[in-house]
Structure 1
Amino acid sequence: MSEKLLSMLEKWYEDDQHDKIVEAIEQLPKSERNYELIGHYGRALNNLGRYQEALSELFTVKQQGQQDADWHWRVGYAYFYMQKWQEALDAFEKTLELQFDAIAEEYIVACQDIIKKSAEALEDIKLTPFRERDFSQFWEKSDYADKNYVEAPPTTEMIASIEEELGYKLPADYIWFMQKQNGGIPVNTCFPTAMPTSWAEDHVAITGIMGIGREKTYSLGGDLGSNFMLEEWGYPNIGVVIADCPSAGHDVIMLDYRACGADGEPAVVHVDQEADYYITFLAPNFATFITGLVNEEVFDTSEQDKLDDLDMVKHAPFSPLLQSLSENTGEGNQIEAAIRSICMQIVEDKGFFALHADELSMLMYDIQFWLYTNANSEVTREQYLADYKDIIALAHGFSTGGYAPDFVADWLDECIAKGDIVNQQGILSFTADKVARLQAQIVNEALKPFKWLEHDSGNTSFFLTAGIYKQELFETREDEGFQGNGYDWASLADVYLQEKLPELVGIVRFDPEADMFCAYSNQKEALLQFAVGFKQACENDELIQDLFSRAILD
C-alpha cells in the first residue's frame, strides 16, 4: 500500500469526500485491502450513513481490532446510528478502556441516557397505553394553526395515497392520533435530548406536527411538507418529515425507517441541516415521542442566559480587531467602557446579547463602522463587509455569536441613502456631522443614567437624579445615615476621585444638592475621563462596594 494512497485517503477524509474514499478502496482487489485500509473504508461508510456495510467490513478484521481504540470507536458509531444502543455502549466503553476519548465519553452518556429513558418510556406506555391517554389539552388553539396545519381527519384513501407518495407506511399510532386531530401546534413543543444539538444543549423544539393530507402548507403532502424538505433542503431520505422546527427549515423531526424498513415501526429522530444533516435519536416510536413532549418552561434558561451575557459584555476580552480599532482612537479605555456600557443596556433590554434593528443596536453598527473607517484609509464596501464579522459578530470572547450579512449590507445602503455615509468613488466614510453626533450619542448612552451637559460658558457637567440608580447600595449603610441623595453620591464620587484619579483633584469639582449629584469642570476631557471611569466603577459590584466602605457621610 503506497504512502501516496494513504495521504490521499486522509485528504479526502478532511475534505468530507467520503464517497471518493469508498470508490478508491473498492477498486482495489480484496486481497490488497489490509487492516489499515479497511479502517478507512469502514470510517468512510459510516460517514456516508451506510452503517450496516461499515459493520460488515469492520468485522472482517475483528480479531486485529480488539486492541485498537479506533476500531471499537467505528463499530460503536455504526451501532449507535443503527439504534443498537447496548452494542454501541459496549463498543464505546471498550474504546475508552483502550484510550481516553472525550467524544466517546459523550456517546457513552448518550447511550446510557437513551437506554434508561427508552426503558422508562416503554414502562410508562405499559402502565397507560397511548390510545387510552387524555389528549384533550394536547393541542394549542389558534387561527394560525387552523390555517397552516389542521386538516380534516384523513380518510383511508388519503392515508394510502400519502403513503404511496412518500414511499413509507405510516405508524399506526400516528394515523390514530391524526384521526383525532389532523395536524396542529402542540401546547408542549420541546423534547429532551441525550446530546446537544444546534438548538440547545439538552432538547429540541418543534413548531408544529404535520397532518396527513395535502391541503395545508404544513401537511405531509403540503407545499412545505415532507417531500419538499427532502427535495429542496436536501434532507436524507431515511423516512418522513413529521414536524417542522423554529429554525424555518434548518432542522426537522423525522420518522426514521433505516432500522425497520419502509413497512416497519420507525424511530423518531432530529435531523440538523446546520450540522451537515446530523441525526440525533429522540424516541423509539411515535407514541413515545408524543408522550415525551414537555413545555418550553422546563428548559427556560433566560435568566441565567441574561446573567451569562451580562458577565460576558462586562468582562470578556475584545477581539484583536476591536481592541486595535479602539486603541487607535487614542481613547481606548473610554471607548471600551462606552461599548461595554451600551452593550450592557442591550442585554438588559433584550435578555441576551444580539444586534437587531433597535436603537442601541443601530448605535453599535455606527460605532463599529466609525472605528473601522477611523483606523483604515480608503475603506471599500467589500473590505468592510469582509472584516465586519471579526469585530464583534463572530469574534471570540466579546461577541454576539452570529449575524445576518444581508442586514449589515442593507444598513450600509440605508446610511448612504440618508447621507450619513459618503461614497466617493467607492471609498466609504461618515460625514463630519455624523461623527460629531455619534460621539455625543456614545457619551450619553455610555453614561446612562448619568447625564452629560456642555454649557455655553465652557464648563461641562456630569449629573444624576438621586434615587434612580444603585439605591440598594446606599441601603447597605442606611443605619449610618446614608440615603442615596446627591450629597451621598458626592461622598462616593470623592473617594473614587481621590483614590483612582488623584491627578484630577481640583480639576473635577462637585456641587451636589439633596435631589441631584453633580460634578463639573472647565476641562471637558478631564471630566469625561472621570465620568467614564466612575460609571464603570459603579457597574463593578466588588469595586464600588470597596470604595463605598470608605465614603464619609457629609
Structure 2
Amino acid sequence: MDQSLIEQFNQWHEEDKHQYIVDKLLAIPETEWDYEAFSRIGRAYNNLGLYEEALQQFDKIAEEGQQDSLWHYRVGFALFHLKRFEDAAQALRSADKLEAGDPNIEYLLSLSLQKVKKQQREELRIAAKRKHAIEWSISTALKIPFSNISLDDFWEDSEYAKQSYLSDPPTVELIHSIEEELGYKLPSSYIALMKQQNGGIPKNTCFPTEEATSWAEDHIAITGIMGIGREKNYSLCGELGSPFMIEEWGYPDIGIVICDCPSAGHDVVMLDYRACGRDGEPEVVHVDQENEYEITFLADNFEAFICGLVSEEEYDTSEEDKTEDLYKVAHGKFSPLLEELCSQVSEVDQIEMKIRSICTKVVEEKGHFSFHADELSYLMYDVQFWLYTKSYPNTNREEYLKMYDRMIAFGGEFGQGGYAPGWITEWLERRMKEGRIIQENGRLRFTEQFTTELMNTLLVI
C-alpha cells in the first residue's frame, strides 16, 4: 500500500473517522488490495461495530495472518464483541504466543476467559432451571408471596414517583390485558406487590452482585419499579416501558423490563423467562447495554429480588464520584471532534474554558457529570449544537443525532460514558417548536437572534 495512503489512514484512525477508511478502500478494486488493505478495512469495520463484516475481511487473509499477532488480535476483538467468547479466547491465545506481554492482548484474553466462565455458569443454571421448571412453578404457586416480610415501609413517598410510576391498583382485567400484550405471565409475587402499590420508588434501591457491571463492582442500582398499566411513563406498557426498551433500545427479547436504572436507559432489570418459558416463574437479571447487553443473574425470582434490595447508603460513593467528575471536567482531554470544533471558534474567547466552567456547575449541582432536562444541560446542548453546525453548516437532523455522542457523551477523558438519546431529541424538538432552531432545505441551524442570545450568555460565564 502506498505510504501516503497509510499515513492518511493513520490520521483518520486517530480522528475516529473509520468510515472514511472504509469508503476509500471500497473505491479501489479489491483485486488491487494487499494484505495491509484487508487488515485496515477489517480494523475499521471493528471500530465501526461491524464485527461480522470485519471477520469477512480477515478471513480473506487468514493464511497470511497466521504469523501476525495483530491479525489474531483483531479477529479475537471481533469475536469478543459478537459474544463468541471461546473463539475469541482461542484467537487471543494465538496472538499472545506471537506477541507475549502485549497488554492489550493480555487484557482482552483475560476478559474473554472471564466471559467464557460466566457464560458456562449461566448455561448450567438455565439448564438446571429448565429441568425443574414444572416443580418450581407448582411450589411457587402454592406459596403466599411476601409472607415472611412486611411491605408497610417498602415504598418512598414522592411527587416524582406519583407522576412517573404510581397507578391505581390493577384489576384482573388489566393484568390479563398486560400479560397478553407482553406475551408473558406475570409472577404472582410481582402482582401481589403491585396490588399493595402499583409501581413506584422503593426506599432500598441497590442489589448486591458477585460480578462487576458498568454501574459498580459489587452492586446494581434501580431508579424505580414499573407498575402494571399503560398510563404512566414508567409502567410496563407505558411510553418508557418494557416494549419501548426492547424495541427502541435494543434490549434482548428474553422477558419483561421491570426496573429502570439511574443510567437513563443504559442498563435495566428484567424478568428472564428463558429457563422457565412464558408461563413459568422467571429469574431476575441485570442487562447492561454499556457492555454489549451483557446479562448478569440477580435472583431466582421476583420475591427474592425484592427481599434482597438494600439501602444505597451501603454503597455511598457520592463524594468520591463528585470529586472524580470535578477533576474530569477541569482537566480531562477533549474528544478529537470537540477539539476540532472549538478550534474554529473566534466569536467567544477561551471557549474551552467556558465549556469546562459550565460542566463544573453541572457536577456541583448534581454530584455527577450528566446532562438531562435542566437549565445547565440545555445550555450545553445549545453550545454543542452551535459548535457543530458552525463547522458543518449542512447538517441535517439525522446527522446531528448520529454525531452528537462524539463530542461529550462518549468523549473519552472529558466525557460522560453514555447518554439517553431521548433527552437530545426532546431538546431538539423543543428548540424547533420555540422557533430557535429552524430547518432550511433539510439543514438545521439556530436563528440569528438565538445565536446572539447564546453568545451573550457565554460571554458572561
TM-score by length of 1: 0.45
Quick one: distance in 1 between partners of 2:226 and 2:382? Answer: 42
The higher-RCO structure (CA 8 Å, 6+ apart) is 2
Equivalent in the alignment of 2:425: 406
Instruction: Tell me: CA distance 1:83–1:253, structure 2 relative to 1, closer, same or farther (3 Å).
Output: farther
Query: Which runs of structure 2 are paired with 1:71-150 in the superposition (5 Å)?
Result: 76-82=117-123, 84=125, 131-140=147-156, 148-150=166-168
* Unaligned stretches of 5+ residues in structure 2: 1-38, 57-75, 88-108, 129-144
Alpha-carbon distance in 1 for matches of 2:252, 2:244: 9
The Cα shift of 1:322 comes to 3.5
Structure 1 counterpart of 2:149, one-letter code: R
How far does residue 347 in structure 1 lie from its aligned partner after superposition? 2.7
Distance 1:409 1:171 in 2: 40
The answer to whether structure 1 residue 181 and structure 2 residue 196 are counterparts is: yes
Question: C-alpha displacement at 1:205, in angstroms?
Answer: 0.6
Distance in 2 separating the partners of 1:380 and 1:429: 13
Cα distance change, pair 388–408 in 1 and its aligned pair in 2 (3 A): farther
State percent identity of aligned pairs: 42
Between the aligned partners of 1:427 and 1:173, the Cα distance in structure 2 is 50
2:226–2:258 CA contact under 8 A, matched in 1: yes
- Could you tell me which residue of structure 2 aligns to residue 91 of structure 1? none
In 1, distance between residues paired with 2:428 and 2:190?
45
Check conservation: 1:151, 1:182, Cα contact below 8 A: yes
Where does residue 466 of structure 1 map in the other structure? none
Q: Does 1:203 align with 2:220?
A: yes
Q: Tell me how far 1:314 sits from its aligned partner.
A: 1.2
Residue equivalent to 1:381: 395
1:314 aligned counterpart, secondary structure = helix
1:81-480 matched pairs, under 5 angstroms: 81-82=122-123, 84=125, 131-140=147-156, 148-151=166-169, 177-178=192-193, 181=196, 183-185=198-200, 186-197=202-213, 202-208=219-225, 210=227, 228=243, 232=247, 236=252, 238-239=254-255, 242-243=258-259, 252-259=268-275, 266-272=282-288, 277-328=293-344, 334-355=350-371, 360-361=376-377, 363-364=379-380, 367-368=383-384, 376=391, 379-382=393-396, 385=400, 389-402=405-418, 404=421, 405-406=424-425, 409-410=428-429, 413=432, 417=435, 431=448, 441-445=457-461
Q: What secondary structure sits across from 2:152 in the alignment? A: coil
**TM superposition shift of 1:423:** 7.0
Structure 1's 166 and 321: CA in aligned 2 closer, same or farther, altered over 3 A? closer
Cα distance in 1 for partners of 2:351, 2:177 equals 65
Gaps of 5+ in 1: 1-6, 22-39, 55-67, 88-128, 446-554
Separation in structure 1 between the aligned mates of residue 433 and residue 211 of structure 2, nearest angstrom: 43
Counterpart code for 1:184: G
Q: CA deviation at 1:137?
A: 1.4
Confirm or deny: 8 A CA contact 2:395 2:443 kept in the other structure.
yes
**Per the alignment, in what secondary structure is the counterpart of residue 460 of structure 2?**
helix
CA distance in 2, matches of 1:158, 1:331: 58
Describe the shift of the 1:349–1:130 C-alpha distance in structure 2 as closer, same or farther (beyond 3 A): closer
Report if the CA contact (8 A) 2:166-2:227 is conserved: no
CA deviation string 1:365-411 (max 9, x = no partner): 5555665676x4x8223398365544434322223445644356447
Task: In structure 2, give the amino acid aligned to 1:203.
Answer: I
Local SS of the residue matching 1:270: strand
In structure 1, C-alpha distance between the alignment counterparts of 2:445 and 2:178, rounded to whole Å = 56
Distance 1:188 1:240 in 2: 21
For 1:181, give the aligned amino acid.
Q
- CA distance in 2: counterparts of 1:334 and 1:81, whole angstroms: 52
Q: Distance in 2 between matches of 1:231 and 1:424?
A: 34
1:397 match: secondary structure: helix
Paired with 1:187 and 1:364, the residues of 2 have a C-alpha distance of: 32
CA separation in 2, counterparts of 1:338 and 1:442?
Answer: 7
Task: Write the letter of the residue equivalent to 2:393.
Answer: V
Deviation at 1:351, TM superposition (A): 2.9
The 1:80/1:335 distance shift into structure 2, 3 A limit, reads same
Provide the C-alpha distance between the structure 2 equivalents of 1:220 and 1:426, rounded to a whole number of angstroms. Answer: 37
Residues 17-28 of structure 1 correspond to what in structure 2 (within 5 A)?
none
Deviations 1:61-86 (A, max 9, x none): xxxxxxx999977863442223549x
Is contact 2:206-2:312 (8 Å) kept? yes
SS of aligned partner of 1:131: coil
* RMSD, matched Cα: 5.8
TM-score normalized by the length of structure 2? 0.53
Which whole-Å CA distance do the structure 2 matches of 1:438 and 1:322 have between them? 18
Is the contact between residue 82 and residue 259 of structure 1 (CA under 8 Å) also seen in structure 2? no
